[in-house]
Amino acid sequence: MRPLVYDRAVSAVGSLLESIEWESCALEPLPDAELLAYLRRELGMVPRTAIYMTPCPWIVRSLAGLNQYNALLAHLEIPLAELIALTVSEDNSCRYCFGMQRFVLRMQGVPEPRIRALADSLFAAELDPRSRSALEFARRFSRANPLLAAADAEPLRRAGWSEPAIREIAFVAAAHVYYNRVATLPALPPQPMENLPDRWWMRVFAGAIGRRIRRSQRPGAPESLPPDARAGPFEALVASLDGLPAARALRGILDEAFASAVLPRRTKGLIFAVVAHALGCPRSEAEAARLLAADGLGAPERDEILAHLASPRLDATEAALLPLARDTIHYRPAQIQRRARALRDTIGVEPFVEFVGVASLANAVCRLASLTAEMS
Amino acid sequence: MRPLLAALVAIAAFVWLWRARSARHAQRLRARFEDAQQKLERLQYAFERFAPRDVVDRLAAGSEPPAERRDVTVLFADLVGFTRLSESVEPAVLVRVLNGHHARMQRAIAEHRGHVALLIGDGLLALFGAFDHNPWQCDDAARAALAMRAELAGYNRELEREQLPALALGIGLHRGVVVTGLVGSAELQQWTAVGRTVNLAARVQDLTRDHGVDILLTESVRKELDPRFALRELPARSVRGIAQPVVTWALDRFEG
């Protein structure tokens, strides 16, 4: 007979992240039945993020498109992808995504002390060398200080990871670099998810929820990019992922993001250019330059804008959002959330939501482009 | 039969109570461990304001972070006439005034993506671009200097209401390569920057008194600066430890 001692010390654990300052949400939930039905079809569930992002349907669709459960991983095990998600979210101080990952892991039976150990210190956590190399790589990828080069993947090769698996590790880290910013910039409310695993009824239904989560996890299979998916923004990056299901997913998100009409293409190109410049990624800068040239912005004008993030050539929206784009690389949540809220008040909700999506995508894509350029 | 049953029940009750006691004890230990762990985490998070995250991670893991060369913009600031002030007010008032000043200056610096690497009495050394790659570090440092001027003006109004003397600030800006790393002994260490760039920023700060201005910057900053910053070129002056006379510009305002 097990003594009835309620394990408060573990269940009521207050992660450091929960004490990180986090502003009130800058967006109102705006459910859209069609978009939510799409997510239910694709993922078998609706992430809460979706109801805040409906002003930009491509961001809602990206919640399924870049999701590691959605037949995207052909070489990397999904449980390790979940730990990468946890590590990257912790490193980006994203309370929202960390809470989500903690919930997913808890429901699948991962004990809280194990989650805490991983979040507290990768150096100290008990991990096999293969997993440790993947998690350390993912964290360095996310941190981008400095941007990763081909040599940084060497510990992964030594630990036995294949080249396609290394690309998938980078892709999963990039996807969470994206999700973390989508949640952090508008300060999506983290509290409901943070408290959920500790509810008594969640403990009762944890097994059933865990089984449901596991059923929704679909591994992918190697696949070649179809010929019609080879051209488009960041085509060299997408081509470098050819052979992985992630390549088609990334192609889809990039095409949708650039096709969306909320912000002009030129503005999106400028956001990518600023993020690439701030990260110091020449490959992404060159691609952003190509996109901007296609929209009529030549090298002298672009260089003038990038030199000081200001120019008479910028319209009012661009002048307001470019300075915030540079801050999306490294930040403290509350500080960037206050700036983001001020931007929302200046440019309006719809352009703000699209800015959040594009700046987040630029962060993921530029990190990935830097790494794969060196590897390919 | 009955005594045997009673004995078994007693043993079961004893085992159950013993296990419950052990579990409670383990729970208390775990709670203390969690508490200590949280304090450590908060400390680690707080440290990330003072040193790059990789440095903090390495320290937390018990390894020595390597010293590195970095291209940074150095801001050196010092209160003018502070020694005189220190002789004319009570020690408690002096410390309160100084802390109020530092809090405002650090806020202005952090708001513009810099970080204070060293407090030296009434002076401070701040770095821009030391933690992360920052192509706009000169603009950030110049904006921080203007924000410090504005903060000081506000603080002086508060001091005036308390009938305390106004403070004056000298700020020097210079960009160049520094060596960053943990400096100090086992008892007292600090992640900071050293080298010629830091020394020159300090000398330029000294020149603010000669030129009668509050913010001075060197050519290495001026050439990277947004043209909307209004600058005035000042005559070259010799400074200690530098062979050539140093040309400086006074930073007047931002015309944005």
Contact of A99 with A49, CB cutoff 8 Å: no
**How distant is the Cα of A9 from the closest Cα of chain B, in angstroms?**
5
A16 touches chain B (CB under 8 A): yes
Q: Domain A227-375 maps to which CATH number in 2.40.50.70, 1.10.3430.10, 3.40.50.1220, 1.20.1290.10?
A: 1.20.1290.10
Nearest to A1 among B16, B30, B228 (CB): B16
Residue-level pLDDT at B87: 86
| pTM as predicted | 0.87
d(CA B51, CA A131): 28
**Domain A47-215, what architecture?**
Up-down Bundle (1.20)
DSSP B121-147: TTEEEEEESSSS--TTHHHHHHHHHHH
- Measured between beta carbons, which residues in chain A are less than 8 angstroms from residue B139? 308
Domain ranges for chain A, please list them: 47-215, 227-375
Count of residues in chain A: 376
The residue whose two tokens read 């059923």 is A215
Token pair 């008892």: residue:
B187
| Interface touch A5/B54, C-beta < 8 Å | no
Tens-digit pLDDT profile for chain B (256 aa)?
A: 788 889 999 999 999 999 999 888 888 887 777 777 666 666 666 666 667 777 777 777 677 778 889 999 999 999 998 888 888 889 999 999 999 999 999 999 999 999 999 998 899 999 999 988 999 999 999 999 999 999 999 999 999 999 999 999 999 999 999 999 888 887 888 888 999 999 999 999 999 999 999 999 999 999 999 999 999 999 999 998 888 899 999 999 999 7
The reply to whether residue B27 touches residue A8, judged by beta carbons under 8 angstroms, is yes
CA angle centred on B244, ends B242 and B245, rounded to 5°: 95
This complex has an ipTM of 0.84
pLDDT at A376: 58
Burial class (CB in 10 A: 0-12, 13-18, 19+), B29: exposed
Contact in structure between A229 and A237 (CB atoms under 8 Å): no
What tokens were used for B229?
Answer: 């910053």
pLDDT in tens, A3-43: 333 333 333 344 567 778 999 999 999 999 999 999 999 88
Residues of chain A with C-beta less than 8 angstroms from the C-beta of B131: 145, 330
Q: Do domains A47-215 and A227-375 have the same CATH topology?
A: yes
Closest residue of chain B to A144, computed from CA coordinates? B132
- Kindly determine whether residue B27 and residue A146, on different chains, have CB atoms separated by under 8 Å: no
Low-confidence ranges of chain A (pLDDT < 50): 1-14
For residue B54, the model assigns a pLDDT of 72
Partner-chain residue, chosen from A5, A13, A145, that has the shortest CB–CB distance to B54? A145
Q: In the prediction, which pLDDT does A254 show?
A: 97
Do the Cβ atoms of A321 and A347 come closer than 8 Å? yes
Which residue is closest to A309 within chain B, CA to CA? B136
**Interchain CB contacts (distance < 8 Å): A and B:** 72
**Rg, chain B, Cα only:** 27
Most B-contacting residue of A140, A281, A330, A367 (CB-CB within 10 A), to test interface: A330
Tell me the C-alpha to C-alpha distance, in Å, between residue A338 and each of A34, A263, A275: 32, 22, 19
Give how far the C-alpha of residue A107 lies from the chain's centroid of Cα atoms, to the nearest Å.
22
Residues in chain B: 256
Confidence (pLDDT) at A216? 83
| Residue A174 and residue A364 in contact, taking contact as beta carbons nearer than 8 Å | yes
φ, ψ for residue B71, nearest 5 deg: -90, 110
Residues in B touching A277 (Cβ below 8 Å): 135
User: Please, are residues A6 and B24 in contact by the beta-carbon 8 Å criterion?
Assistant: no
Tell me what pLDDT residue B43 has.
Answer: 67
Which residue of chain A is at minimal alpha-carbon distance from B42?
A16
| Strands of B12-122, DSSP E | 68-80, 114-120
3 state SS of A181: helix
Pairwise CB contact (< 8 Å): B27 & A7: yes
Which chain A residues have a beta carbon less than 8 Å from that of B16? 1, 3
- Under 8 Å between Cβ of B216 and B234: yes
- The DSSP symbol for B252 reads E
Report the distance separating Cα B38 and Cα B48, nearest Å: 15
pLDDT at A4: 33
Contact A134, A161 (CB under 8 A): yes
Structure tokens at A337: 């959330």
Determine the pLDDT at residue B45. Answer: 66
